[in-house]
Chains A and B, each alone.
Chain A
């Protein structure tokens, strides 16, 4: 009998439907080539899937490098000729559940024809079908899930894997009941400071314990350094100051170690500190809410964070990975509906803040070049914001003499304007030809129920549809578009209402933070994932401890069932019994561990 028939007859016993699918799928997806060691290897699209020399040895090395915790279900993406499955099964305990994702039966059929499958077949579960179907099958497994990718083979089905991972993230988000302790590190000053505030607020609204390590309290001192005339001194001292703020942040983290350190762009954490945090097993993430082409300091930090979340896609993500980032994901901007909301304005406020056309923002080059063409029309144009020095043509429409506009004023302008312009910043003369990310103002305007006219962005269609936001693709279209939308107030209102509905449904900071945590949770099933699932809550811990450690289980039951319990709390509970309290062996072990735990904060 051939390998193919032999393997299929075995597969028929535990998954007949998949066996039939393989029989019908045909082969030829993989090119089978003999390796130097004499066993079959494979190529696809001109690339090796397994080693050309020794696929077995290579698979064993790969399997050794994979993490696993008791009770987890390992889900493997990228099957190739299944050498790595064999090696993984040999390495894992027999009780470990292994699920193999099969997005393409024809590739598996090649594998079935190439070599004999071993006894590992009796240990694995096959998840196959469409990406959605595979995602649902894996999600219903119900265990803590650890996703593992054998990259050379997984890259053949990247899109399927992305869909499957998204489904699993949704599942984590839906199940999230556990409370994380999150330290949020914001910037000293700048545009990401309000974003930090919104992120903190959103995380709290999701029920997590959030500590905002806010270096903006040092902003005044930091700005004093900008007054130094000697640029060498200024740069050296600013660098030292940033390093000191980084150390202060480390000291704060050491006092109360969080489950996750979430930095926002411009957070003063330098690479050596991030590396030190990693050595101390802190999990770190950065939400880089900046245009990676404008601010390039990410190059020095890329390798420092465990997770990067960015507002741009392909090029940005590739550049970060090239610079050493291990895990980069897309997370667009959002709005905070408690801040960005429809307002009831007084007549006086309408007069002060209202206009036919308005823009709130800084005087970037493209805006300076475009806005003069909006003057001398039938509409009333008001320009708000700072950094417009030298734009003399626009002085007649510039409000408050170019003063910085605070958030409250900004909301009033949004609410009071008929057409809010939303031109993304760019250093050129017109609209950014490579404009990809969608700025916060887009979501903020929408959340206010305000109508906006934006420049077209490549990532816009995924976030807001054509009936939710009006766009132009060139600066020349702008006057005509303004005139058109001013003539159509009802359509403006309808479009603004659509946009608000969409933002409230999908694009709030709470959505973003839930996405961020669920992605980190899927990638870190034994840490963040476990906490989000509630596996660290007293009731869950007690039920799993009951058989092996009954005394521990009864101590755990003295806590409220949903309270998250760690060693620190357990030890405190044991100590609260007082001098006359009886201590079991388990109690003593926990107290001993807590003694050592209390000395593990040597971060500074």
Chain B
């Protein structure tokens, strides 16, 4: 029995939060084994809130960049000592097993450096280009999309040889108040809606004009709603632009938390909201992880079936093109203000509406109003990929 294992997730906030199911599944499958997590240093404080995680190891990307820059043109082997010391500070003894969730050479190499055995996208060592069955499946989905209905979080489970838990996992944010005026969020009656104004990539950001119209409609006509703008420091300009475009009469029902919170504070803030609305972003996934209902507006490269908000009862408006011409503003606001009318939703041109469900294969999104045109092949794919995996393990 392996006694120490490490999960390696070196991507961004959204990927880290979507790794929660595999972490809890691994912990449930190997209850006597300690499970640590390696993630980018800026995300470490949030990762420390994850259930069943022992130590959180901080991956210091800027430091690696600095070393690499120092080496360029003036390679000095003596500097390897600093690298060695850093790795020893992460762990003095290698882990028995590393589960690598990213299809990136840095993650494979980190696994090979920190653990004796590595399970992840590659069948053999870091120089091996042959992918494991689940990694091949994920790559194919990324290239072709097709009829996939397996969520990324569940694919992480498959990659690590476990199945999703019977119920989706949640994380518990700190109970202390967010800073300053944000402590008021969620206190007064009515619905509190967290609006995720930015996105990591510009092409995934919802235009400012759309947000202005959306929030104006939501807060109009004496609705009992309040809005909290959330996002990272880089989104502050967008948040200011949104506020500039809103009527001053809405000021009392709008809170701007963009760039003002740590990630644990953001988790607390999102937990106090009834809804989180936004594009396919880290904060939207964080909202679902703390149990807040999410409504996603998915366009550009974002696709509901791979990275929709994980769990049960979330909604996603999926655009049928990368750059939408119109936005489902009225329809989506109506869903929040009057949830009972969802089943009577009129179709919105260029968009389809999906709701998340949860079963033995994890999360799946089904269309509202009509059946899914694609057959749910998750069970067959799980069986097929698991058999291939077992076969390869047997051969090895």
Contacts and interface: CB of A to CB of B under 8 A. Distances in A.
A70 B67 CA distance: 16
B127 A567 contact: no
25 contacts: A527-B74, A531-B74, A545-B77, A548-B81, A549-B77, A552-B77, A567-B68, A575-B127, A579-B124, A579-B127, A580-B124, A581-B127, A588-B126, A590-B80, A591-B109, A592-B106, A592-B109, A593-B68, A593-B71, A595-B68, A595-B105, A596-B106, A600-B68, A600-B69, A600-B72
Nearest to A526: B74
A173 interface: no
Given A594-B68, A596-B67, A600-B69, A583 B75 contact: no
A549 B106 CA distance: 22
Nearest to A541: B77
Contact of A589 (B106, B113, B128, B130): B113
Interface in B32-81: 61, 64-65, 67-69, 71-78, 80-81
Interface of A: 69-70, 181, 257-259, 280-281, 526-527, 530-531, 536, 541, 544-545, 548-549, 552, 565-567, 570, 575, 577-581, 583, 585-586, 588-597, 599-600
A549 B83 CA distance: 13
Contacts of B64: 592-593, 596
Interface in B148-173: none
A536 B127 contact: no
Given A583-B112, A592-B64, A595-B68, 8 more contacts: A531-B74, A566-B72, A579-B125, A579-B128, A589-B83, A589-B113, A593-B71, A599-B68
B88 to A, nearest CB: 11
Contacts of B87: 589
Contact of A567 (B71, B106, B112, B124): B71
B261 to A, nearest CB: 29
B346 interface: no
Which bucket holds chain B's interface residue count? 20 to 34
B219 interface: no
Contacts of B181: none
A581 B65 contact: no
Contacts of A592: 64, 83, 106, 109-110, 113
A114 to B, nearest CB: 39
A548 B76 CA distance: 12
A545 B105 CA distance: 26
B244 interface: no
**Residue from the set B77, B125, B126 with the largest chain A CB neighbour count within 10 Å:** B77
A521 B65 CA distance: 26
A541 B78 CA distance: 10
B129 interface: yes
Contact of A585 (B76, B77, B113, B129): B113
A477 B80 CA distance: 69
B370 interface: no
A581 B77 contact: no
A591 B128 CA distance: 13
The 10 closest A-B pairs by CB, nearest first: A596-B68, A579-B128, A597-B68, A545-B77, A592-B109, A567-B71, A596-B64, A566-B75, A588-B113, A589-B83
B113 A541 contact: no
A231 B17 CA distance: 59
A154 B109 CA distance: 51
